[in-house]
Amino acid sequence: MREERISTIGVEKEVLVDLEEFISEVEKMAGRGARFVTASCRDLGEEGFEIIYHFDIDHKVENIRIKVPKGREVPSISPIFFPALLIENEIKDMFGVKFIGMAIDFDSKLLLHQEAPKIPLLKPSWDKEPAPERKIPPCREACPAGIDIPGYIRLIEEGKYKEAVELIRQQNPLVAISGRVCFAPCETKCRQTIEQSPLSIRLLKRYASDKAGFDLDKSKKPDTGKKVAIVGSGPAGLSCAFYLAKLGHQVVIFEALPKPGGMLRVGIPDYRLPQDILEAEIKTITDLGVEIRCNQKVESVDELFNQGFNAVFLALGAHQNVEMGIPGEDDEKVLNCVTMLRRVNLGEKVEVGEKVGVVGGGNSAIDAARVALRLGAKEVTIFYRRTRAEMPASPEEVEAALEEGIKIEFLCAPTKIERKGDKLAVTNIKMKLGEPDESGRRRPVPIEGSEYTVELDNLVIAIGQRPEVSEKLGVNIGRGNRIEADAMSMKTSRDGVFAGGDVRTGPASVVEAVADGRKAAIAIDKYLGGDGRLYVPEVPYPQQFVMRRDMKEARKQIPRVEVKKLDPKERVKNFNEVELGFTDEQSAQETKRCWRCDWNE
């Protein structure tokens, strides 16, 4: 068989010949004065090998192509073209093709060595594409806890809600809670934002948790006999307790307040996080054998070590209100945001007048304003010293507050509070924005002589919180009353004492505290002699693969689903949960918008 056909681009002439005619074809080439260039071999798997010999005649390439069945010997061309001996030896080493009559046989020592195993270096190429690999997508990168977001969205899409929740619990044990209160940094990084609005990642998490319920995996490792004390039952403490209990350590949480949950309990109002959800989520952790001792304020770490604990995790939170430092602030009509929210959440009675003002621009200021509305205030105004663009509160919360009829006055701050009978006269000064400060936001500068007075029944101060840490703990305390701890290992200055959550970072978010708790669990396990590998159930990830370019165009078209909320006029009368969560159809539509950026294409 001899066939002339050019299938390689960039080649002048090409012949496909049988093994029998091969040598005569090479001799013809030698007769024309060709120069041997090289040979390319390809392993075709079952079909054998394909070897292409390239020759050069006056700067033009001509090919001779042969197919060799597996196990057949190829006649060497090195007696005709001496330089071919190197490539023939290389093909022999790389592919295991046998040649007969080579000018010099290096005996598999050209590329391989005496010591090296005599196996072919180049195995057959993949006929289809290699299995795609997963990588960290932008949303997962943005998540402080590093939750596998496209993974659980995919599981929800397939209706595997329990598996989805278990996948989230590998990184974050508070699924139902973060499905309601997380400020979702992942959504800002969602690549769907390029085309339209991002995925509702947080609400999908809540949907999975609602569907899966709280009867979750309770497996854990056998008892190790080590005892860990966790001070504070907030998100950091709970997440640390969850992972340590799974590893078989005995965990006791000490809580100063009468009910567990920390800021989840006393900082987040019920209309965002219902108490029964919180109870149920905490129960999934206590079910693992974690003991929570309420009404026990821990003053000293030594006491805990004396009680037989091997390690201590301090997750005290940031429960002290920052004061403004203006005259009249200690008036009884001036409320403290942390205390007010705590009393409301613990079921104590708090009375507010008709006109309430709130100072501050963070999430707690918005919470205080919305709580005041629910406590019976008729008119609530938020005073913030910068503009809406600089507000640290999450835009969704601000939007919800505006819907409920809360007014926000920008570029103003109180300078003086006076008592006038039953009412407060608050003197405000107007501000303008100046140069950016170290946080990158523009600094407010007071405009002189622009003071004006507002008459209010109550004023709530919500300009920030800071941790309340006593010196007796014996750990280094840094700026802003925070405990100094390593950001990766949560180690404090004292051996065996770890700290994380708001007490380390200053007031931050639930998900950051959860991430701190998880990191602390790893560090504590290592400290107690473990290998630092958390015990989490394996979740089979669906391997079926769809190319992004095949589905992206269709997925771009689907709009974001708006979640149903209670009517603003009705919801301000009670503390019922505002967001109603996704229905089955809504979640089905929302999961179909994910681009699956986690596949490396």
Partner 1 sequence: MAKTVMPFGPQHPVLPEPIHLTLVLEDDIVQEVLPNIGYCHRGIEKGCERNAYWKNPRLVEHVCGICNFMHAQAYCEAVEKALEMEVPPRAKYLRVIWAELNRIRSHLLWLGLLADAFGFESLFMQFWRIREKSVFLIEKTTGNRIIFSTCVVGGVNKDIPNDYLRGEFTKVLKEIKADVEELLPVLLKDPTVKARCVGKGVLSKEDAHKLGAVGPTARGSGLRQDMRLTGHAAYGELDFEPVVEPDGDSYARALVRAKEVLQSIELILEAIGKIPDTEIFIKPDHWPEKEAFSRIEQPRGELIYYVKGNGTRYLERCKIRTPTFANIPPLLAMLPGCEMADVPIITLSIDPCIACTER
Among 5, 113, 472, 565, binds partner 1 (CB under 8 A): 113
Q: Does 125 bind partner 1 (CB under 8 A)?
A: yes
Among 7, 188, 196, 453, binds partner 1 (CB under 8 A): 7
Helix (H, G, I), strand (E, B) or coil at 28: helix
Q: Does 97 bind partner 1 (CB under 8 A)?
A: no
Q: Does 28 bind partner 1 (CB under 8 A)?
A: no
Q: Tell me how far apart the alpha carbons of residues 174 and 182 are, in angstroms, rounded to a whole number.
A: 10
Mark 186-212 as b/e (b = at least 16 C-beta within 10 Å): bbebbbbeeeeebbbbbbbbbbbbbbb
By C-alpha distance, which of 305, 174, 183, 310 is closest to 243? 174
Among 22, 29, 36, 149, binds partner 1 (CB under 8 A): 36
The CA dihedral of 494, 319, 263, 361, to the nearest 10 degrees, is -120
Among 83, 138, 146, 446, binds partner 1 (CB under 8 A): 83
From the list 30-38, 185-193, 465-473, 497-505, the region that binds partner 1 by CB under 8 A is: 30-38
Helix (H, G, I), strand (E, B) or coil at 281: helix
* DSSP class per residue in 449-462: T--EEEEESEEEE-
Shortest gap between Cβ of 135 and partner 1 (angstroms)? 13
* DSSP class per residue in 486-528: -TTT-B-SSTTEEE-THHHHSS--HHHHHHHHHHHHHHHHHHT
Q: How many residues bind partner 1 (CB under 8 A)?
A: 42
Contact predicate 472/299, CB 8 Å:
yes
Q: What is the largest CA-CA distance in the chain?
A: 118
Shortest gap between Cβ of 18 and partner 1 (angstroms)? 20
Among 15, 29, 68, 87, binds partner 1 (CB under 8 A): 87
In terms of CB distance, is 471 or 550 closer to partner 1?
Answer: 550
Shortest gap between Cβ of 556 and partner 1 (angstroms)? 20
In terms of CB distance, is 416 or 548 closer to partner 1?
Answer: 548
Among 24, 27, 118, 121, binds partner 1 (CB under 8 A): 121
Measured between alpha carbons, how far apart are the two ends of the chain, in Å? 42
Among 20, 31, 126, 531, binds partner 1 (CB under 8 A): 126
Q: Does 10 bind partner 1 (CB under 8 A)?
A: yes
Shortest gap between Cβ of 56 and partner 1 (angstroms)? 8
In terms of CB distance, is 6 or 558 closer to partner 1?
Answer: 6
The residues, ordered by sequence, that sit 6+ positions from 84 with a Cβ below 8 Å of its Cβ are 36, 39, 53, 76, 77, 78
- Footprint on residues 337-376 left by partner 1 (CB under 8 A): none
In terms of CB distance, is 88 or 516 closer to partner 1?
Answer: 88
Q: Does 479 bind partner 1 (CB under 8 A)?
A: no
Q: Does 8 bind partner 1 (CB under 8 A)?
A: yes
For β-strands 458-461 and 334-336, DSSP reports them as parallel
Shortest gap between Cβ of 37 and partner 1 (angstroms)? 7
Contact predicate 417/329, CB 8 Å:
yes
In terms of CB distance, is 8 or 453 closer to partner 1?
Answer: 8
In terms of CB distance, is 7 or 453 closer to partner 1?
Answer: 7
| C-alpha dihedral sign at 306, 240, 248, 206 | positive
Residues in the chain: 601
- Footprint on residues 37-66 left by partner 1 (CB under 8 A): 37-38, 40-42, 52, 54, 59, 61, 63
Mark 535-563 as b/e (b = at least 16 C-beta within 10 Å): ebeebeeeeeeeeeeeeeeeeeeeeebeb
Tokens representing 326 are: 């203006």
| C-alpha dihedral sign at 331, 466, 227, 172 | positive
Q: Does 104 bind partner 1 (CB under 8 A)?
A: yes
- Give the start-end residues of each E strand in 69-180: 73-75, 98-100
Place of tokens 């979740």: 539
Among 71, 117, 130, 347, binds partner 1 (CB under 8 A): 130
In terms of CB distance, is 109 or 221 closer to partner 1?
Answer: 109
Partners of 418 in beta bridges: 425
Name residue 41's amino acid: C
From the list 117-125, 381-389, 420-428, 574-582, the region that binds partner 1 by CB under 8 A is: 117-125
From the list 108-116, 186-194, 317-325, 448-456, the region that binds partner 1 by CB under 8 A is: 108-116
Shortest gap between Cβ of 25 and partner 1 (angstroms)? 18
From the list 4-12, 456-464, 480-488, 507-515, the region that binds partner 1 by CB under 8 A is: 4-12
In terms of CB distance, is 525 or 598 closer to partner 1?
Answer: 598
Q: Does 546 bind partner 1 (CB under 8 A)?
A: no
Place of tokens 């006393």: 266
User: What is the number of alpha carbons within 13 Å of residue 305 lying toward its C-beta?
Assistant: 10
Among 4, 115, 127, 332, binds partner 1 (CB under 8 A): 127
DSSP state letter for 579: B
Q: Does 85 bind partner 1 (CB under 8 A)?
A: yes
- Give the start-end residues of each E strand in 268-372: 291-293, 311-314, 320-321, 334-336, 355-359
Contact predicate 266/343, CB 8 Å:
no
From the list 107-115, 333-341, 418-426, 567-575, the region that binds partner 1 by CB under 8 A is: 107-115
From the list 7-15, 149-157, 351-359, 437-445, the region that binds partner 1 by CB under 8 A is: 7-15
Q: Does 81 bind partner 1 (CB under 8 A)?
A: yes
Shortest gap between Cβ of 1 and partner 1 (angstroms)? 20
Place of tokens 């080439």: 29
In terms of CB distance, is 12 or 157 closer to partner 1?
Answer: 12
Interface with partner 1 (CB under 8 A): 7-11, 33, 35-38, 40-42, 52, 54, 59, 61, 63, 81-83, 85-87, 93, 104, 106, 109-113, 121-123, 125-130, 601
